[in-house]
Structures are given as structure tokens and as C-alpha cells.
Amino acid sequence: MGRPPKHPVETKLKIVLSVISGETTQAEAARRHGVSETSIGKWKDQFLQAGKTGLEQPAGAGKPTGREHQLESEVDHLTRALGEAHIQLRALRRGGPSAMSFR
């Protein structure tokens, strides 16, 4: 398990909204709340991508890993292959002219 978040979601949301609305700059908000500008930038990106729920997860959470990308690619490949096999099987069962090209 990771460490608990230092700043509650509501605090992050308040900071991000004040920066996005132009009420304060990222640098001013960082100084006022004792956090880095980088953290506020990450929170802003998380908020813009996923709304308030994006702030509830640690940075990087929810991003697919290399292994997940590999598995997603394999699933896509196998799904396409299954679809092609299904089409070929239907053509063979119907005995249409294209059935000969699959044999």
C-alpha cells in the first residue's frame, strides 16, 4: 500500500479550481498551500482528464502498464482473428462461391 494522501481531495479540488478559473496562479497557489507547482500541475491534469475522481487516485494510478498494453494488443489481435474465422465459417456453411477460396 502507498502512503496516505497528504492533501484531501476537497483541498486539491479547491486549489485546482482556483488556478483554472484564473483566481490565482499556479505559483501563488503552491506558495499559499505549501505544495510544489509540479504537484498542482499534476492535480490540474488529473482533474481535466477525469474530473474530481481523477484527484482521488494517486498520480499514475489508472494508467495501463506495459503488460496491460501487451495484453490489450493480444486481445485485439485474437478478436480480429476470431471475427475472420467466423466469417470464413459462415461462408463455408453457405457453400457460396467464396467457400472455395478458404479451403
| 99: Cβ contacts below 8 Å, ≥ 6 apart | 91, 92
Based on the fold, state whether residues 44 and 76 are members of the same structural domain.
no
Based on the fold, state whether residues 15 and 48 are members of the same structural domain.
yes
> What total number of domains does the chain contain?
2
Q: Is 34 domain-assigned?
A: yes
Question: 45: pLDDT confidence band, cut at 50, 70 and 90?
Answer: confident
Q: Is 21 domain-assigned?
A: yes
Q: Is 36 domain-assigned?
A: yes
Of the two residues 55 and 81, the one the predictor is more confident about is 81
Based on the fold, state whether residues 70 and 52 are members of the same structural domain.
no
Indicate the pTM of the whole model. Answer: 0.50
- CA 15, 18, 24, 25 torsion-angle sign: positive
DSSP character for 18? H
Based on the fold, state whether residues 31 and 70 are members of the same structural domain.
no
Based on the fold, state whether residues 75 and 49 are members of the same structural domain.
no
Q: Is 82 domain-assigned?
A: yes
Instruction: Note the pLDDT tens digit of each residue in 6-34.
Output: 788 888 889 989 998 999 999 999 999 99
